[in-house]
Amino acid sequence: MTYKTLLFDVDDTILDFQDTEHEALMALFAEQGLTMDLEMKQTYQEVNHRLWQQFEQGKLSRDQVVNERFGLFFKKYGRIVDSEAMEKHYRSYLDQGHKLLGNSQLVLAELADKFDLYVVTNGVSKTQYRRLSDAKLMPYFQDIFVSEDTGYQKPMKEFFTYVFDRIPNFEQQKTVIIGDSLSSDILGGHLSGIDTIWLNPNKKVASTVLPTYEIQSLDQLPSLLKS
C-alpha cells in the first residue's frame, strides 16, 4: 500500500480515554458525596454512549449531548441536578487527562517522518487541544480537525469533505483513517471513499461496516503501512 496522509482519531486511539473518563468521573462524583462503583460507571457510560450515537446520526447537537447527559444519568438515581453546571465541572477534570495509549507517542514520532499526520475527532475542541498539547503530541500533526469547529461530525461525509478541502495537495486514494470506532471512524472513512484501519484491541467482530485493515495495537501500524 502507498499512503501519504494519515488521519488519526484521538480517544482510545492515541490517548487513553478510558483512563481519563474514569478519573474525571471519580472526581465529579466525589464532589457530589458519592463513591463511584462499577454499576454507576456502566450506567453513565450507557447513557453517554447512547447520546453520542445520536450525535453521530445527526439527531442531537454536541451541546445537547454534553449538557444533558448528567441530568439523565442522575435522574436514574432519583436525583435532580444542574446538568450544565455539572458538565462544566466534569469538563475541567476531563481536560486534565492526557495519558498516552500504549506507545502512541513513539509510533507517531516514527510515522511523522514518513507521512502527513492529521487529527480527526468528534471531541470538544478546547478539551482535545489541551489534552494533545499536554501529551506533547501536537508537533507530530500538520493540523487538527475537531467536529465542534467544522460544523459536522464523523461519520458524516461533510466532515470529511471539510477536512479534505483543507489538506494541501490532498489525494483521496493515498489517505487512510486510523481509529477505534466502527460507527464513526470506519464508517466515516467508508462513506468518504478512503481506506480504513480499525484499532481493535479486544478483537471485536465488525458487524456493521468492514475496515480495510485491522490491528490490535498501534505498534502494528508502522509495519502494516510498509507492506
115, three cell numbers: 507521512
Stretch 54-68: mean pLDDT:
93
* Domain total in the chain: 2
Helix (H) or strand (E) run with residue 5 in it: strand 5-8
**pLDDT given for residue 123 in this prediction:** 83
pLDDT band per the 50, 70, 90 thresholds, residue 34: confident
pLDDT in tens, 68-115: 999 999 999 899 999 999 999 999 999 999 999 999 999 999 999 999
68 conformational bin, left if phi > 0, alpha if psi -120 to 50, beta if neither:
alpha
Backbone angles phi, psi at 103, to 5 degrees: -100, 35
Domain boundary among 29, 63, 95: 95
Given a cut of 80, whether residue 1 has pLDDT beyond it is no
| Greatest pairwise CA separation for the chain in angstroms | 55
pLDDT at 188: 97
Distances (CA, A) of 46 to 30, 65, 71, 81, 88: 20, 13, 14, 19, 20
181 and 221 housed in the same domain: yes
pLDDT per residue as tens digits for the range 105-136? 999 999 999 999 999 999 889 999 999 999 99
What confidence score (pLDDT) does residue 32 get?
87
Catalytic residue numbers, as ranges = 9
The reported pLDDT for the residue numbered 190 is 97
CATH number of residue 115's parent domain: 3.40.50.1000
- Let me know whether 109 and 216 are in one domain: yes
Question: Which of 43, 72, 95 lies at the terminal end of a domain, its last residue?
Answer: 95
Q: Do 64 and 49 lie in a common domain?
A: yes
Q: What is the pLDDT of residue 75?
A: 94
pLDDT for 46 equals 96
Can you give the CATH number for the domain in which 34 is found? 1.10.150.240
Tens digits of residue pLDDT in 170-218: 999 999 999 999 999 999 999 999 999 999 999 999 888 999 999 999 9
* Single pTM value for the model: 0.92
Looking at the structure, tell me whether residues 113 and 214 fall in a common domain.
yes
Domain range for 188 is 5-15+99-225
Closest to 185 measured CA to CA, from 212, 204, 225, 167: 212
Share of the chain above pLDDT 70, in %: 100
**Any bridge partners for residue 173, and if so which?**
none
Average pLDDT, stretch 130-145? 97
| Dihedral of the alpha carbons of 130, 104, 113, 195, in degrees to the nearest 10 | -100
Question: Where is the domain boundary, 39, 64, 95?
Answer: 95
With 80 as the cut, is the pLDDT of residue 62 above it?
yes
- Grid coordinates representing 26 are 471519580
By CB atoms closer than 10 A (0-12, 13-18, 19+), residue 159 is: buried
pLDDT band at 16 (very low <50, low <70, confident <90, very high): very high
* Judgement on whether residues 71 and 129 belong to the same structural domain of the protein: no
69/87 Cα distance (integer angstroms)? 8
pLDDT of residue 161: 98
